[in-house]
Amino acid sequence: MSHADDALKNREVWTKANAEYTDQKARESWAKDEIDWGMFSGPESELNTLGALEGKDVIELGCGTAYFGAWLAKRGARVVGVDITPAQLETARRLQQETGLNMEFIEASAEDVPLPDASFDLAVSEYGASIWCDPELWIAEAARLLRPGGKLVFLCNSTLSILCSPDEGKVEERLMRSHAQLGRFEWPGEDEGVNYHLAHGDWIRVLRENGFEVEALHERLAPESAQDHVYYEFMPAEWARSWPAEEIWVARKAI
Amino acid sequence: MPGKPSEEAFRNRAYWDRLSDEYQARHKNFIRQPEPRWGVWQIPDSELGVLGDVSGKDVLELGCGAAHWSILLAKLGARPVGLDNSARQLEHARELMAEASVDFPLVHSSAEAVPLPDESFDVVFCDHGAFTFADPYRTVPEAARLLRPGGLLAFSKLSPFAYVAENEDERVGPLLRRDYFGLHEIDDGGVVTYDLPYGEWIRLFRRYGFAVEDLIEPRPAEDATSTYWDESERDWARRWPSESIWKARKER
């Protein structure tokens, strides 16, 4: 399958998800004050991955309805969101007009962004390009788009959670698939798209090959109060209290 | 200069003094190889690209055991120093060095507090050595102190995946048996071993001025054999990482 075919499939998945969930959820998400990572990884105020945001040029790679970018724009960043799903961008634009936040949106894949080199201070992705695009392509694009010394911060499913994922259904307390199968995933279930999950060593390699220094890998315990997610129900909160459900990578482009 | 080693380091010294003869009898032919090879599955360094060319370099092996590695590196033109926490292991090292007709310093010490000067090595490394049997919160700063700017820290150990999937019989299986969080000191009553979650290793490297260069998760060949793990464990290790090798570079 080509990347273009994968993108078509993923666009279908997210058009449907937007109709079912992300559109109606978007206003509430945009309105939140706290920057929160993932389902369980917790508040940015504890993680301190992003640094100062005031006046920074930020690109959100695979922004969906762009609630994450909105939280950064509220802190004075100029945010550009790119995504391949027009329905989600429509939701994002509607909320941008309502809120007047300093954001713009471009329909594009994070694998090929129609913007000039070295035009951003920070690239972020929270379950965006970080799992839905080919790392060989989107990490190279992030490197190209960032200024020297710029930061890349992204959240993805943990490697261990992917190894414990059956083809369909919830993550189990058992290794279900081989480490050698990591890479491109075409999940067989209905409404599943194509995504990418790498081994830790491969993340480090692809980041370094593209001129990034690895600054941090945050693996966090889900809090006692964590509940199963109402829509993304594959990850039991109980599991996430013993093993990392998500990982946040922080990398910096060499100066 | 270094502080004092932990109490666990003295327990592990006694453990290795007790275990040394039996350990060497069981494994020494398997790990006595014509070229440098790593770990449980003895995968060549030339394949994994961890140490590369060591000629002319000052190399410190932290937890050298019978010094199989340092002897090979000496033959390849390095200036090794072998350190081990167990006097009995170092006696085995002296025997093998005499057999191989090579000579280099051996140091009897825990890697948690190394009696050697700052910035005196180009490479600090071990293969299932001190980064397994000593506390990383002490060994990583020691490695940072001992390395020259631009120097390489490289070490192998069991992977945290193997730790999480290990059952009561100390064998790996498909079930997640232990929590990942809080991974640090693993005390089985006899010996104390150490590992950290991957993210915590990275945090520790960065805190002591290392750039993270690589994380290698070696995979055994289909027909690999080992004196450490049996065939069913090899089949597990074909599917999930049994070992991890970290490479970190002391920043200039």
What is the SS3 assignment for chain B?
CCCCCCHHHHHHHHHHHHHHHHHHHHHHHHHCCCCCEECCCCEEHHHHCCCCCCCCCEEEEECCCCCHHHHHHHHCCCEEEEEECCHHHHHHHHHHHHHHCCCCCEEECCCCCCCCCCCCEEEEEEECCHHHHCCHHHHHHHHHHHEEEEEEEEEEEECHHHHHCECCCCCECCECCCCCCCCCEEECCCCEEECCCHHHHHHHHHHCCEEEEEEECCCCCCCCCCCCCCHHHHHHHHHCCCEEEEEEEECC
The DSSP call for residue A96 is: H
| Closest Cα in chain B, distance from residue A5 (Å) | 30
Q: What 3-state class would DSSP assign to A228?
A: coil
Tell me the per-residue pLDDT of A82-93, one tens digit each, with 9 for 90 and over: 999 999 999 999
pLDDT number for residue A232: 86
Q: What 3-state class would DSSP assign to A197?
A: strand
Q: What is the mean pLDDT of chain A?
A: 95
The residue of chain A nearest to residue B177, with distances taken between CA atoms, is A173
Domains parsed from chain A with CATH numbers:
3-32+41-158+199-228+245-253 (3.40.50.150)
B165 CB within 8 Å of a chain A CB: yes
| ipTM at complex level | 0.95
A251 interaction partners in chain B (CB closer than 8 Å): none
Query: What is the average pLDDT across A19-46?
Result: 94
CB pair distance less than 8 Å for B179 and A244? no
The residue of chain B nearest to residue A248, with distances taken between CA atoms, is B199
pLDDT tier for residue B40 given thresholds of 50, 70 and 90: very high
> Residue B2 domain-assigned?
no
Q: What is the DSSP string of A10-48?
A: HHHHHHHHIIIIIHHHHHHHHH--S-EETTTTEEHHHH-
The DSSP call for residue A115 is: S
Best B161, B198, B201, B240 member to test A by mutation, with max A CBs in 10 Å, is B198
pTM of the model: 0.96
Indicate which CATH number applies to the domain containing B119.
3.40.50.150
The residue assigned the tokens 């713009």 is: A104
CB A45 within 8 A of CB A35: yes
pLDDT tier for residue A41 given thresholds of 50, 70 and 90: confident
d(CA A71, CA A183): 31
Largest CA distance in chain A: 47
> Residue B17 domain-assigned?
yes
pLDDT number for residue A231: 85
Query: What is the average pLDDT across A184-193?
Result: 87
Best B215, B233, B242, B251 member to test A by mutation, with max A CBs in 10 Å, is B215
Q: How many domains does chain B have?
A: 1
Query: What is the average pLDDT across B96-119?
Result: 98
> Residue B180 domain-assigned?
yes
- Residue A196, H or E segment: strand A194-197
CB pair distance less than 8 Å for B206 and A242? no
CB A145 within 8 A of CB A118: yes
The residue assigned the tokens 């993270």 is: B212
A200 interaction partners in chain B (CB closer than 8 Å): 198, 215, 217
- Which residue range is the domain that position B107 belongs to? 7-250
Query: What is the average pLDDT across B75-84?
Result: 98
C-alpha distance from residue B36 to each of A176, B45, B46, B111, B122 (Å)? 34, 6, 8, 22, 18
pLDDT number for residue B20: 97
